[in-house]
Structure 1
Amino acid sequence: DGLLHVGDISWSRVADPSTELAVGDVLDLKVLKLDRQAGKISLGLKQMSPDPWKEAVASLNPGDRVTGEITRLTDFGAFVEVLPGVEGLIHVSEMSWTRRIQRPSDVLKKGERVEAVVLKVDSAAGRLSLGLRQVLGNPWNTIKERYPNGKVIEGKVTRLATFGAFVEVEEGIDGLVHVSEFTNEKRIGHPSEVVKVGQVVRAVILSSDPETRRLKLGMKQLEATSAGHFAQEATVGDRVSGRVLHVRGNTVTVQLGEGVEGVCIVEEAAPDALAPVSGGSLAAQLAAAWKGGVKSPAVKSSELYREGQVRSFTIIAMDTAGKKIELAPA
């Protein structure tokens, strides 16, 4: 008798010889080894047909798409039979662009048919490397188009670190809200002072880098500001009052409220400007001016704007996004 080893029954992987052969079958076999001294004969059945690896080497190239059945799963990947007798390995690192796969069985199962991309054909070693994630495309390649700077997103806080909080922008892609980007109101020592894991938050895209796979987010940019409140109440053409902060040539910077500034380009002195209002706090002076102001005799054209004066102006343009308010003498 000669021995037909299970590994020489078929080019495909055979776990149990009884699935391929039965007692009484008549076979054409090839003698692989003859050991006269030990009285042993090694036989081969698969050697009676062409080696499928030769076909694989001739027909498969990196970048080709193949379809096959998963034959077995290991800790490091999944083996896929792409041709009869030809298996390729999908390494665990090639299963997802965004998720960190711990076990291949979390993504795939034995017997499942999958589509994969050929990464490498090593004819000498008889190895075929496949990729699963390449079929779907890398989502980071289009991150700038899908999430441009300034776009507002909602996401769940996935984890906290001393330097910030990670927010899930989409499945597998997290953005970082740095500890300095949470709020304008106070200095944050740790993200846990503002958010917690599992909380859904709104944030704005600050920048994205496909190469390093980093997405920077900010939350303080969405906070209501004094300029925002002012913009909601005032419109272009309104007459407002403010305190002159400083004068640089013909450019006058005016405080219209707490944290709200406007700029007035003065071509010449405004003859109908309101006289300075003295006494009381800034809030009291501005409130008085808003209610009608204190009218005065005509101002001479030679009179200069001086720091500390409360004067009247007309809003000629507002850019709420850029937080810019342009004024003209009233």
Structure 2
Amino acid sequence: MSWSQHLRSAQEFMKVGDEVEAVILTLDRDERKMSLGIKQLSADPWAEIETKYPVGTKTTAKVRNFTNFGVFVEIEEGIDGLIHISDLSWTKKVKHPGEFTQVGADIEVVVLEIDKDNRRLSLGHKQLEENPWAGIESKFPLDSVHEGTITEMTDKGAVVSLDENVEGFCPTRQLTKEDGSVPKVGDKIEFKILEFSKATKRITLSHLRTYDDVRKAEAAAEKAEKRAAADATKSTVKKINASVEKTTLGDIAGLAALKSAMEAAEAKKAPAKKSKKEESAEE
């Protein structure tokens, strides 16, 4: 009845009493039966698919259905395609397509691959834009600190929105606030970039490190200051000891010289000692 795969019953296409044109497909005279077709009145849309929608074609499609792994869309009657969940966004971690779009909505797509034999199209949505991860890497370098909003809590940690198109993940052990409490969904707090992987499109964050690293730096600075003060004290004591030692040696030398001078002076003042002959003559 239709090249489209979305008809569930004939009532969706026609009703009793309608006059329709049809093509005879088979004829069984013995059984007095014939098979008719309506879609055969129009060309098979897949016959010229590679000409009409070559790889790289950008167009608008209608969302028809969801699965856990992607979005089924219809480009036109009879031509369906699949947008894999990984091809919806460069930056957002989409767990289910329902988070990104809704059934019946229009979505812009680009043709990535054509499988004419199996009547399948592989489509992409994120490919309509350039891969932003090169610019993101320069905007969120390792060890830089940024304000983020917690959008989701899981058993393993928190999903954090760093800006409109960039999300990161903060493990539970890195979520603790300085007062020991745990933040909740909607909280805006600072996060440090611990890991940035362009290949896996993963940004690992830490709130704990935003204040713990500061405390460690302050402790290290205080320790270095104390060490410098101790070294300065040792140097001062060493200089004082050297000065005292030098002074003491100088004093000893000065005292010895003074003693010699005094002894020489006393020797000059004392009368000369008489010889034995002089003493006998006087007698």
Relative to its length, the structure with more strand (as a share) is 1
- Does 2:202 match 1:214? yes
Structure 2 CA distance for partners of 1:99 and 1:209, relative to 1, 3 Å: closer
CA contact (8 A) 1:153 1:204 kept: yes
Say whether residues 1:99 and 2:99 are aligned partners. Answer: no
Indicate yes or no: 2:137 matched with 1:149.
no
Is the counterpart of residue 173 in structure 1 residue 167 in structure 2? yes
Do structure 1's residue 203 and structure 2's residue 191 form an aligned pair? yes
CA–CA separation in structure 2 for the residues paired with 1:220 and 1:228: 14
Structure 1, residues 241-280: CA drift from partner, whole Å, max 9, x if none? Answer: x9xxxxxxxxxxx9423xx769x9xxxxx9xx97339xxx
Are the structure 2 counterparts of residues 130 and 230 from structure 1 closer, same or farther at C-alpha, using a change threshold of 3 Å?
closer
Q: What is the number of residues matched between the two proteins?
A: 232
For the pair 1:256 / 2:225, whether they are aligned, the reply is yes
SS of match in other structure, 1:143:
helix
Residues 1:214 and 1:111: Cα distance change in structure 2 (over 3 Å): closer
Unmatched tracts of structure 1, length 5 or more: 1-7, 186-191, 232-241, 243-253, 265-269, 278-295, 304-330
Distance 1:206 1:48, change over 3 A: same
Could you list the runs of 4 or more consecutive aligned residues of structure 1 that deviate by over 6 angstroms after TM superposition?
Answer: 180-183, 296-300
Q: Which amino acid in structure 2 is aligned with residue 195 of structure 1?
A: V
Query: In the alignment, what sits opposite 1:318?
Result: none
Matches within 5 A, 1:55-204: 55-70=48-63, 72-76=64-68, 77-97=70-90, 98-102=92-96, 104-136=97-129, 138-140=131-133, 142-157=135-150, 158-159=152-153, 165-166=157-158, 168-170=160-162, 173-176=167-170, 179=173, 195-198=182-185, 199-204=187-192
**What amino acid is the match of 2:120?**
R
Cα deviation digits, residues 12-49 of structure 1 (max 9, x gap): 3545556557735362x321112233221111122122
Q: How far, CA to CA, are the matches of 2:31 and 2:44 in structure 1?
A: 29
Distance 2:175 2:13 in 1: 64
Q: Distance in 2 between matches of 1:110 and 1:123?
A: 25
SS in 1 for 2:121: strand
Alignment of 1:25 onto 2:19: yes
1:101, 1:136 → 2: CA distance? 21
Matched residue type, 1:176? C
CA contact under 8 A between 1:205 and 1:216: conserved in structure 2?
A: yes
| Identity score, percent | 28
Deviation at 1:151, TM superposition (A): 1.8
Is 2:94–2:100's contact at 8 Å kept on the other side of the alignment? no
Matched-pair contact (CA < 8 Å) for 2:56–2:110: yes
Q: Measured at CA, do residues 167 and 200 of structure 1 come closer, stay the same or move farther in structure 2, by a change above 3 Å? A: farther
**Structure 2 unpaired stretches of 5+:** 247-283
Q: Whole-Å Cα distance in 1 between the matches of residues 65 and 161 of structure 2?
A: 31
Q: CA deviation at 1:194?
A: 5.3
CA-atom RMSD in angstroms: 4.3
- Tell me, yes or no, if the aligned pair for 1:153 and 1:169 is still in contact at 8 Å: no
CA distance in 2: counterparts of 1:181 and 1:92, whole angstroms:
29
Aligned to 1:11: 3
Q: How does 1:40-59 map to 2 (within 5 A)?
A: 40-59=33-52
Aligned counterpart for 2:236 among listed residues 252, 272, 275:
275
Radius of gyration: which is bigger?
2
1:138 and 1:194, CA in 2 relative to 1: closer, same or farther beyond 3 A?
Answer: farther
Instruction: Please give the alpha-carbon distance, in whole angstroms, between the structure 2 residues aligned to 1:220 and 1:255.
Output: 21
Deviation at 1:80, TM superposition (A): 2.4
Letter in 2 for 1:220: R
Provide the secondary structure at the position in 2 that maps to 1:31. strand
C-alpha distance 274-261 of structure 1, shift in aligned 2 (>3 A): closer
Give a deviation string over 1:220-251, Cα, whole Å, max 9, x none: 354444865998xxxxxxxxxx9xxxxxxxxx
Deviation, structure 1 residue 175? 2.9
